[in-house]
A = this chain, B = another copy of it.
Amino acid sequence: MLTIVVDAMGGDHAPACVIEGTVQALQESGNRFNILLIGQSEKVEPLLASYDTSALNLTFLHAPEVVTMEDIPATAVKTKQESSLVKGLQLCKAKQADAFVSAGNTGAQMAASLFVLGRLPGVLRPTIYAYFPRLSEGLTNIVDIGANVDCKPEHLVQFAQMLTIYQRYGAGIEQPLTGLLNIGEEEGKGSEMLKQAYWLLKEADRAGKINFLGNIEGHDILKGKASIVVCDGVVGNTILKFGESIPEFMGILFKRSLEKVMISGQMDEKMAAMTTSLFKGLFDPFDVEIFGGVPFLGVDGISIVGHGRSSSRAIKNMIYMAEHMIEKRVNEHIAEVLSEK
């Protein structure tokens, strides 16, 4: 049975949401895994007491320190060795657990994962990706979304390779398609880094390591032209956060417009309610919590990174994501392919 460490202290709504999501995952899955819930006992235990956990594979572990959202990643890892973050990852390193899940400080989790778990053989830079909505069936992942800012062309190639492996083995996509996010479709477009990345990606395609579509542009993302959109962390982070702001922005515009037509008497309350429900449903594809979080790809272990805003549902889905990563042996495949010369 798999053992998954869950960071009780990670996330804006921690520990309450984390406890709720953990209990839900165990109940829903029929106790399919062991969970080690780790955090400050004075904060976690009183909340945990309100659940009947006697029949669940749930063990609580005390960690006196907490890495907060404000902590500077590199410093937190060094100075907070007794935190749920560092202790949780150390349990994975010591093979006492198979995966670590947290919705806490993303930068600190990346730094600690790299420091405690190390990199998989052949991996230059571990990376995180995000999910994007798309019009057609399938999946769109953008990589990197901020873990790596000063990227070299060879880093982008590895991001594409790692996502290709993830999508193939982890998401059942037979032929993941990689597009290089650029300012134009033609060869020779973009910065020096992008021009070189283009040629290296072509080479990786010829070597059968990825399926490279060529350059794609900003308007190709939502169309779902590529299943893997490769870019540096500055571009990826910006586009991700911009994308995440769309539902709220459109929601405010919608509210203003709806008020106008209601005041003018063109719509009654019933019609307004139906229109609102239709409008809200449009943003279902933007729901990031379906996946809960993403693995920090390229580290020698499973470290699932969640959004700070994570609800209990997101926490639950992150636990499933951890299980999925282990079962599909994604890391073994990455190590195998990336350590090839």
Contact = CB atoms under 8 A, between A and B. Distances in A.
A292 to B, nearest CB: 20
A218 B240 contact: yes
Interface residues of A, number: 52
A258 B278 contact: yes
A142 B221 CA distance: 20
A278 B257 CA distance: 7
B245 A221 contact: yes
Interface in A188-228: 190-192, 194, 217-223
A222 B249 contact: yes
Contact of A218 (B239, B254, B274, B278): B239
Interface string A272-297: 00110011011001000000000000
A241 interface: yes
A252 B224 CA distance: 13
Contact of A278 (B135, B249, B275): B275
Contacts of A219: 241-242, 244-245
A1 to B, nearest CB: 39
A217 to B, nearest CB: 5
A239 B194 CA distance: 16
Contacts of A194: 149, 234
A13 to B, nearest CB: 19
Interface string A234-258: 1101111111111001101110011
Contact of A221 (B233, B242, B254): B242
Given A135-B252, A279-B279, A282-B257, A218 B190 contact: no
Contacts of A240: 218
Contacts of A133: 249
Interface of A: 133, 135, 146, 149-150, 181-183, 190-192, 194, 217-223, 231-235, 237-246, 249-250, 252-254, 257-258, 261, 266-267, 271, 274-275, 278-279, 281-282, 285
Given A182-B234, A218-B240, A223-B245, 13 more contacts: A135-B252, A149-B183, A218-B237, A218-B245, A238-B238, A239-B242, A250-B282, A253-B285, A254-B278, A257-B281, A267-B274, A275-B275, A275-B278
